[in-house]
Amino acid sequence: MSRIAVRRATNAAMNILAALAALVVILPLVLILGFLIFRGSTALNVAFFVHLPTPVGEPGGGMANAITGSLTLIGLAAAGGVPLGILGGVYLAQSRDRRLPWLCRFLADVLNGVPSIVIGIFAYTLIVLPMRRFSALAGGVALGVIMLPIILRTTEELVRMVPASLQEAALALGLPQWKVVLHVVLPTARAGIITGVMVAVARIAGETAPLLFTAFGNRFWHRRLDEPIAALPLQIFSYAISPFDDWHRQAWAGALVLISLVLVMSLLARLATKGLYNRRGTYG
- Site track 82-101 with other proteins (rule: CB under 8 A), x = hit: --------------x-----
Answer for which of 110, 112, 168, 264 binds other proteins (CB under 8 A) is 168
On the CB side of 125, CA atoms within 13 Å amount to: 5
Q: CB under 8 A: which stretch of 69-77, 144-152, 187-195, 221-229 binds other proteins?
A: 187-195
Answer for which of 57, 59, 174, 243 binds other proteins (CB under 8 A) is 174
Between 22 and 182, whose beta carbon lies closer to other proteins?
A: 182
Min dist. Cβ of residue 153 to other proteins (A): 21
| SS3 category, 95 | coil
Q: Is 64 in the site for other proteins (CB under 8 A)?
A: no
**Cα dihedral sign for 37, 269, 162, 152?**
negative
Between 1 and 283, whose beta carbon lies closer to other proteins?
A: 283
Min dist. Cβ of residue 106 to other proteins (A): 21
The residue count for binding other proteins (CB under 8 A) is 24
Q: Is 269 in the site for other proteins (CB under 8 A)?
A: no
Between 2 and 165, whose beta carbon lies closer to other proteins?
A: 165
Q: CB under 8 A: which stretch of 7-15, 73-81, 185-193, 228-236 binds other proteins?
A: 185-193
Between 7 and 279, whose beta carbon lies closer to other proteins?
A: 279
Q: Is 163 in the site for other proteins (CB under 8 A)?
A: yes
Maximum distance among all Cα pairs of the chain, rounded to whole angstroms = 79
C-beta neighbour count of 121 within 10 angstroms: 17
Euclidean distance between the first and the last CA atom of the chain, given in angstroms as a whole number: 42
> Which CB contacts under 8 angstroms, 24+ apart, belong to 247-250?
247/56, 249/39, 249/40, 249/42, 249/43, 250/43, 250/48, 250/53, 250/61, 250/62, 250/63
Among 39, 51, 100, 87, smallest CA distance to 245 is for: 39
Residue 275 neighbours by CB under 8 Å, 6+ apart: none
Answer for which of 188, 214, 235, 273 binds other proteins (CB under 8 A) is 188
Min dist. Cβ of residue 266 to other proteins (A): 22
Q: Are 86 and 150 in contact (CB under 8 A)?
A: no
Residue 33 neighbours by CB under 8 Å, 6+ apart: 259
Answer for which of 39, 51, 219, 280 binds other proteins (CB under 8 A) is 280
- Contacts to other proteins by CB under 8 A: 96, 163, 165-166, 168-176, 179, 183-184, 187-188, 190, 276, 279-280, 282-283
